[in-house]
């Protein structure tokens, strides 16, 4: 178990390292740790990145899927362009944006990434409901555009609902893993669920 002081120093280390290497955010290192463990990226694959801004995951992905892979990124917030990344600005929970992602993905996506999170109110009943609704929207997107044996990485917050989240994802994927990357803040409740080998 990592001491919280060491965890804080790790976070500061990754923040500085991101700036030194012109990486858009510390979250790049979270995805790198997950990928090193589960080997999610392959050359020439197609990836969707939800909650993408400022773009560190898209930045990571596009370099892993060269020379002919593509990334479709989506966020409510604007994201500065990245070569090889198609950006759709908007809330993917909105039907118009959701169907735009479906049209662009065309049932040809091998990996869906979601670092998105709803606005946190501090009221657990509301926050759990909003996170569950976001999870269901990501699952619906998987049903529309993820190919068989494709993979999913989605951020959730630890809480009483975590077993429910895992159960929903396990219905669609052959294996489900949990990751708490070192580059995450020690006080953050965020963890990542990795759905491996989409069944359909």
Active site residues: 155
Q: How far is the C-alpha of 101 from the C-alpha of 113, rounded, in Å?
A: 13
Q: What are phi and psi of 98, to 5 degrees?
A: -60, -45
Nearest to 191 by CA among 166, 149, 158, 142: 158
Retrieve residue 109's tokens: 């996506």
| Alpha carbon distance 173, 199 (integer Å) | 5
Q: How is residue 120 written in tokens?
A: 């946190």
What's the rounded Cα separation, in Å, for the pair 86 and 117?
21
- d(CA 44, CA 163) in angstroms, rounded, equals 34
Cis omega before residue 150 (within 30°)?
Answer: no
Could you tell me the sign of the dihedral formed by the alpha carbons of 99, 130, 176, 65, in that order?
Answer: positive
């Amino acid at each position: 178990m990592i001491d919280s002081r060491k965890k804080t120093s790790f976070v500061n280390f990754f923040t500085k390292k991101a700036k030194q290497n012109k990486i858009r955010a510390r979250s790049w290192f979270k995805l790198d740790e997950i990928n090193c463990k589960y080997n999610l990226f392959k050359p020439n694959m197609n990836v969707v990145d939800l909650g993408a801004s400022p773009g560190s995951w898209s930045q990571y992905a596009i370099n892993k899927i060269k020379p002919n892979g593509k990334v479709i990124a989506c966020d409510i917030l604007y994201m500065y362009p990245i070569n090889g990344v198609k950006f759709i600005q908007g809330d993917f929970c909105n039907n118009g944006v959701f169907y735009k992602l479906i049209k662009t993905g065309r049932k040809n996506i091998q990996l869906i990434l979601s670092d998105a999170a709803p606005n946190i109110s501090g009221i657990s009943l509301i926050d759990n409901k909003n996170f569950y609704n976001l999870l269901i929207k990501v699952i619906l997107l998987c049903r529309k555009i993820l190919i068989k044996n494709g993979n999913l990485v989605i951020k959730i917050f630890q809480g009483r609902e975590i077993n429910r989240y895992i159960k929903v994802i396990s219905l669609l994927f052959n294996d489900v893993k949990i990751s708490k990357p070192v580059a995450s803040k020690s006080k953050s409740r965020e963890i990542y669920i990795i759905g491996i080998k989409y069944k359909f």
